Amino acid sequence: MEPVAGEDLARFRAYRDSPTPEGRNGLVSAHLGLARSLARRFVGRGEPLDDLEQVAFEGLVKAVERFDPDRGSSFAAFAVPTVVGEIKRHFRDHTWATKVPRGAKELSTRITASTEALSKQLHRTPTVAELAEALGVSDDVVIEALEARAAYRPGSLSAPVDREDGRTLGDSLPIDDTGYAGVEARLTVEGLLATLPDRERRILELRYYEELSQDQIAKQVGISQMHVSRLLRRVSDVLAASTYDGVP
Interacting residue with another protein among 92, 124, 199, 230 (CB under 8 A): 92
Q: Which stretch binds another protein (CB under 8 A): 60-68, 95-103, 223-231, 235-243?
A: 95-103
Residue 81 as a binder of another protein (CB under 8 A): the answer is yes
Residue of 77, 117, 122, 159 that binds another protein (CB under 8 A):
77
User: Among 158, 195, 224, 229, which residue interacts with another protein (rule: CB under 8 A)?
Assistant: 158
Say how far apart CA 132 and CA 176 lie, in whole Å: 19
Distance in Å, CB of 170 to another protein, minimum: 8
Does residue 74 touch another protein according to CB under 8 A? yes
Supply the minimum distance, in Å, between the C-beta of residue 215 and another protein: 27
Stretch touching another protein by CB under 8 A, among 107-115, 179-187, 197-205, 222-230? 179-187
According to the binding rule CB under 8 A, does residue 147 interact with another protein? yes
Q: Binder to another protein among 11, 27, 34, 59 (CB under 8 A)?
A: 34
Judged by CB under 8 A, the residue of 13, 41, 89, 199 near another protein is 41
Bridge partners (DSSP) of residue 168 are 160
Q: Report how far residue 51's alpha carbon sits from residue 186's, in angstroms, rounded to the nearest whole number.
A: 26
Q: Which of 125, 159, 162, 180 binds another protein (CB under 8 A)?
A: 180
**Count of residues in contact with another protein, rule CB under 8 A:** 36
Distance CA 192, CA 63 (A): 42
What is the Cα–Cα distance from 157 to 130, expressed in whole angstroms? 30
Choose between 145 and 218: whose C-beta lies nearer to another protein: 145
Residue 160: phi and psi, rounded to 5, are: -70, 135
- Position 194, amino acid: A
- Report the Cα 238 to chain-centroid distance in Å: 24
Contact string 113-142 vs another protein (x = CB under 8 A) = ------------------------------
Nearest-angstrom CA–CA distance, 84 and 35: 9
Dihedral sign of CA atoms 7, 8, 13, 18 in order: positive
> What's the N-to-C CA distance of the chain in angstroms?
37
190 interacts with another protein by CB under 8 A: yes
Question: Distance between CA 131 and CA 137 in Å, rounded?
Answer: 8
What is the C-alpha to C-alpha distance for residues 129 and 138, in angstroms, rounded to an integer? Answer: 8
Contact 13, 68 (CB under 8 A): no
Q: What are phi and psi of 68, to 5 degrees?
A: -110, 110
Please report, as ranges, the residues that interact with another protein according to CB under 8 A. 1, 3, 34, 37-38, 41-42, 45, 74, 76-77, 80-81, 84-85, 88, 91-92, 96, 100-101, 104, 143-144, 147-148, 150-151, 153, 158, 179-180, 183, 186-187, 190
